[in-house]
């Protein structure tokens, strides 16, 4: 069937380019991307295989009915020898249960009539004598990408294996039937397995073919449909064993297994090439963008940008690369490399003097508390050299208020009325999203117990409990006052026009490399005290406005790029789906 190979080779661009981000996607690695097209290709190969469309039929092959006779005879022999208990065969597969037509010489049977089915178990862990290296003990995590990734993670002793008395012989196929239903693999040795796994041991050695059928889309779909609909999906052994199982003639099964293995190896190569290509692309993007933010003169910066501009259309073709571009724009902005300096701007030092005078006045009037003096900024704390007219300062020097919130008793919360109360999950995409799991605190609590953390529109908030750190937002005008919990710190600049550039700087995340974090129980935390000491590059106020305006402009362009990319990716995914559906009809 040359048509199958042609289907693969003629559409390599579709199989390779159809990618999408995984649900747990992060930045910086191809492992966060799902090669959707290649995944669909693998599914198509298996589906063609079990429908008799992958290899040609041979009229000289003994029909599948002869194989069924051999299976029945072997089952009877095992019963007579006392190696298998006698039990009733499952009823024949009805026409209405058959998911598709099969070629002449093929037939349908139930999985439980093809082999011995078992559900695993776990010996008592309190008895150490049950565990050892006599027999591998397989769990769902040991099954990856259709194979057993290790037989040595856990094992049972001879005593434990005898006590469990559920052993799958070599050539058996294991399938996870609790939780992530459908993961399956053939074993090449005798194993034990836990209660999340069912096994089928074919009465004749056709385990390679059984594995392909259990991995196919039709079998996986029926398995999921037959599982329970509780929070933890469960497919019991009775329903699993009753699933219709398509049987090809034995000789054709061998040809099918060989062809599937051959084509899966081609998919492996295609996958490796694509992952290497994605990795190389990411390295190139990181290198070229990194050259922009390194300390270089104007000519060096211009040369670095020229290299990017020349290849812009090929560099920024993924969500990850556009995110990297956005982050680089923020870094360039706060380093003074995004807009030109204007010698007519009043130097930042002049505004800092006015802010210091205003802060002293507020302290004298008792409107804010005097904080302990902070040490001078050392050269090691300065992340980069500043343009002329800029100054370094600490956030505490330019803010009237830097603190965090707290959590009141449950009795002080209300679902729909009161003062909006923020948690870290309300900071989404560097904005306040109060539509997401909104909650309110009662006004008396807001003005009493939580008075210290009253927020006003224009305040800059940041999560100080991670990971990840770096979630930042400006409080919007949708409510006149807000409040927040202890995982959020807020900054209220004395000169309100500074808030937009402060927001931009915190989003750039450079300060995270220069601040001491507090790590507890897997968390990365920033104390309020350390938040006050953050070193802040302070441009002239008019330049701050130009920077923020340019950042907004470029971020809109990046978002437009992302939208167009998303549309193109969606189209590629649909092409891959359509190609699979048409293949099943036309081949």
Residues 377 and 314 in one domain: no
Say if CB 402 and CB 464 are below 8 A apart: no
Among the listed residues 109, 50, 6, the one whose alpha carbon sits nearest the alpha carbon of residue 257: 50
Cα gap 204→254, rounded to integer Å: 13
List pLDDT tens digits, range 103-152: 999 999 999 999 999 999 998 877 888 899 999 999 999 999 899 999 99
Residues 527 and 554 in one domain: no
Q: What is the pLDDT of residue 28?
A: 39
Within a domain: residue 388? yes
Which range is least confidently modeled, 14-23, 147-156, 459-468? Answer: 14-23
Percent of the chain residues past pLDDT 70, beyond the cut: 95
Instruction: Taking residues 330-351, report their average pLDDT.
Output: 93
Query: pLDDT-based confidence at 524, cuts 50/70/90?
Result: confident
Instruction: Taking residues 324-345, report their average pLDDT.
Output: 92
Considering the chain, what is the average pLDDT of its residues? Answer: 89
Say if CB 322 and CB 565 are below 8 A apart: yes
Say if CB 117 and CB 199 are below 8 A apart: yes
The token duo for 432 is 């306040």
Residues 305 and 412 in one domain: no
Residues 559 and 534 in one domain: no
Within a domain: residue 259? no
CA separation, residue 279 to residues 27, 32, 97, 159 (Å): 12, 11, 45, 48
Among the listed residues 146, 164, 281, 265, the one whose alpha carbon sits nearest the alpha carbon of residue 214: 146
User: 585: which residues sit within 8 A by CB, 6+ positions away?
Assistant: none
Cα gap 438→247, rounded to integer Å: 55
Within a domain: residue 253? no
Among the listed residues 429, 332, 351, the one whose alpha carbon sits nearest the alpha carbon of residue 397: 351
Query: pTM of the full predicted structure?
Result: 0.75
Within a domain: residue 434? yes
Helix count (H) and strand count (E) of the chain? 19, 28
Q: Of residues 310 and 546, which shows the higher confidence score?
A: 546
Residues 386 and 314 in one domain: no
Q: What is the pLDDT of residue 129?
A: 87
Which range is least confidently modeled, 58-72, 278-292, 326-340? Answer: 278-292
Q: What is the pLDDT of residue 311?
A: 81
Query: pLDDT-based confidence at 370, cuts 50/70/90?
Result: confident
Residue 26 has pLDDT above 70, yes or no: no
Q: What is the pLDDT of residue 520?
A: 67
Cα gap 115→213, rounded to integer Å: 13
Cα gap 64→58, rounded to integer Å: 12
User: 373: which residues sit within 8 A by CB, 6+ positions away?
Assistant: none
Among the listed residues 136, 209, 222, the one whose alpha carbon sits nearest the alpha carbon of residue 177: 222
Residues 281 and 381 in one domain: no
Within a domain: residue 261? no
Q: What is the pLDDT of residue 302?
A: 80
Domain that holds residue 233: 62-248
Query: pLDDT-based confidence at 521, cuts 50/70/90?
Result: low
Last residue of a domain, one of 505, 520, 539: 539
Residues 36 and 152 in one domain: no
Query: pLDDT-based confidence at 29, cuts 50/70/90?
Result: very low
Residues 432 and 494 in one domain: yes
Within a domain: residue 254? no
Cα gap 290→436, rounded to integer Å: 35
Residues 473 and 510 in one domain: yes
Which range is least confidently modeled, 79-93, 274-288, 427-441, 571-585? Answer: 571-585
**Residue 465 belongs to a domain with what CATH number?**
3.90.220.20
Residues 178 and 73 in one domain: yes
CA separation, residue 227 to residues 40, 184, 497 (Å): 23, 16, 58
Q: What is the pLDDT of residue 31?
A: 56
List pLDDT tens digits, range 371-417: 888 899 999 999 999 999 999 999 999 999 899 999 999 999 998 89
Q: What is the pLDDT of residue 418?
A: 94
Q: What is the pLDDT of residue 572?
A: 80
Backbone angles phi, psi at 199, to 5 degrees: -130, 150
Query: pLDDT-based confidence at 522, cuts 50/70/90?
Result: low
Q: Which residues of 485-524 are buried (b: 16+ CB within 10 A; e: fewer)?
A: bebbbbbbbbbeebbbbbbbbbbbbbbbeeeeeeeeeeee
List pLDDT tens digits, range 85-106: 887 789 999 999 999 999 999 9
Residues 515 and 403 in one domain: yes
Query: pLDDT-based confidence at 25, cuts 50/70/90?
Result: very low
State the CB neighbour count (10 A cutoff) for residue 240: 23
User: 10: which residues sit within 8 A by CB, 6+ positions away?
Assistant: none
Q: Of residues 310 and 182, which shows the higher confidence score?
A: 182
Residue 27 has pLDDT above 50, yes or no: no
Among the listed residues 50, 15, 40, the one whose alpha carbon sits nearest the alpha carbon of residue 259: 50
Query: pLDDT-based confidence at 23, cuts 50/70/90?
Result: low
Last residue of a domain, one of 522, 539, 556: 539
List pLDDT tens digits, range 206-227: 999 999 999 999 999 999 999 9
Within a domain: residue 445? yes
Say if CB 322 and CB 558 are below 8 A apart: yes
Q: What is the pLDDT of residue 304?
A: 82
Within a domain: residue 263? no
Last residue of a domain, one of 193, 217, 248: 248
Residues 191 and 332 in one domain: no
Count how many domains the chain has. Answer: 3
DSSP state string for 384-442: SPPPTT-EEEEHHHHEEEEEE-----GGGEESSSSEEEE-GGGEETTEE-TTSS--EE-
Longest dimension (CA), the chain: 102
């Amino acid at each position: 069937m040359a048509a199958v190979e042609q289907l693969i080779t003629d559409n390599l661009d579709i199989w390779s380019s159809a990618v999408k981000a995984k649900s747990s996607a992060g930045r910086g690695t191809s492992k966060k991307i799902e090669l959707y097209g290649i995944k669909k290709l693998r599914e198509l190969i298996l589906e063609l295989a079990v429908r008799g469309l992958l290899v040609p039929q041979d009229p000289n092959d003994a029909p599948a009915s002869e194989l069924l006779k051999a299976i029945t005879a072997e089952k009877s022999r095992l019963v007579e020898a006392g190696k298998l208990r006698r039990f009733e065969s499952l009823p024949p597969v009805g026409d209405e249960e058959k998911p598709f037509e099969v070629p002449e010489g093929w037939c349908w049977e139930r999985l439980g009539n093809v082999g011995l089915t078992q559900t695993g178990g776990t010996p008592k862990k309190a008895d150490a004598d049950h565990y050892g290296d006599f027999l591998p003990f397989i769990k769902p995590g040991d099954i990856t990408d259709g194979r057993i990734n290790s037989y040595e993670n856990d094992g049972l002793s001879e005593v434990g294996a005898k006590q469990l008395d559920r052993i799958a012989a070599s050539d058996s196929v294991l399938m996870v039937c609790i939780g992530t239903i459908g993961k399956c693999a053939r074993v090449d040795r005798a194993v034990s397995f836990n209660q999340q796994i069912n096994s089928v041991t074919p009465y004749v050695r056709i385990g390679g073919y059984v594995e392909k059928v259990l991995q196919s889309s039709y079998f996986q779909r029926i398995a999921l449909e037959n599982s329970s609909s509780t929070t933890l999906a469960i497919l019991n052994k009775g329903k699993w064993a009753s699933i219709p199982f398509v049987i090809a003639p034995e000789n054709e099964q061998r040809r099918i297994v060989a062809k599937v293995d051959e084509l899966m190896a081609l998919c492996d190569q295609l996958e490796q090439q694509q992952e290497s290509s994605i990795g190389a692309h990411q390295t190139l993007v990181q290198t070229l963008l990194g050259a922009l933010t390194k300390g270089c003169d104007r000519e060096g910066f211009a040369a670095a940008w020229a290299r990017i501009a020349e290849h812009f259309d090929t560099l920024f073709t993924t969500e990850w690369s556009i995110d990297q571009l956005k982050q680089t724009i923020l870094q360039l902005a706060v380093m003074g490399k995004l807009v030109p300096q204007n010698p007519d701007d009043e130097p930042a030092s002049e505004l800092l003097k006015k802010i210091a005078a205003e802060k002293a006045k507020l302290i004298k009037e008792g409107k804010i508390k005097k904080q302990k003096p902070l040490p001078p900024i050392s050269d090691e704390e300065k992340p980069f050299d500043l343009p002329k007219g800029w100054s370094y300062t600490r956030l505490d020097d330019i803010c009237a208020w830097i603190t965090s919130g707290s959590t009141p008793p449950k009795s002080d919360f209300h679902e729909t009325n009161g003062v909006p109360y923020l948690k870290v999950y309300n900071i989404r995409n560097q904005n306040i999203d109060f539509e997401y799991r909104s909650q309110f605190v009662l006004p008396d609590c807001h003005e009493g117990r939580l008075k210290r953390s009253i927020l006003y529109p224009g305040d800059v908030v940041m999560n100080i409990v991670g990971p990840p750190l770096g979630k930042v937002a400006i409080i919007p005008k949708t409510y006149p006052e807000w409040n927040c919990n202890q995982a959020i710190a807020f900054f209220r600049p004395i000169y309100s026009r500074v808030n937009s550039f402060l927001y931009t700087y915190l989003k750039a995340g450079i300060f995270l490399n220069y601040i001491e974090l507090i790590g507890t129980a897997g968390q990365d935390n920033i104390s309020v005290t350390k938040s006050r000491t953050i070193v802040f590059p302070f441009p002239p106020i008019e330049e701050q406005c130009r920077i923020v305006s340019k950042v907004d402009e470029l971020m809109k362009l990046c978002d437009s790029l992302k939208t167009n990319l998303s549309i193109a990716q969606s189209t590629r995914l649909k092409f891959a789906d359509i190609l699979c559906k048409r293949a099943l009809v036309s081949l």
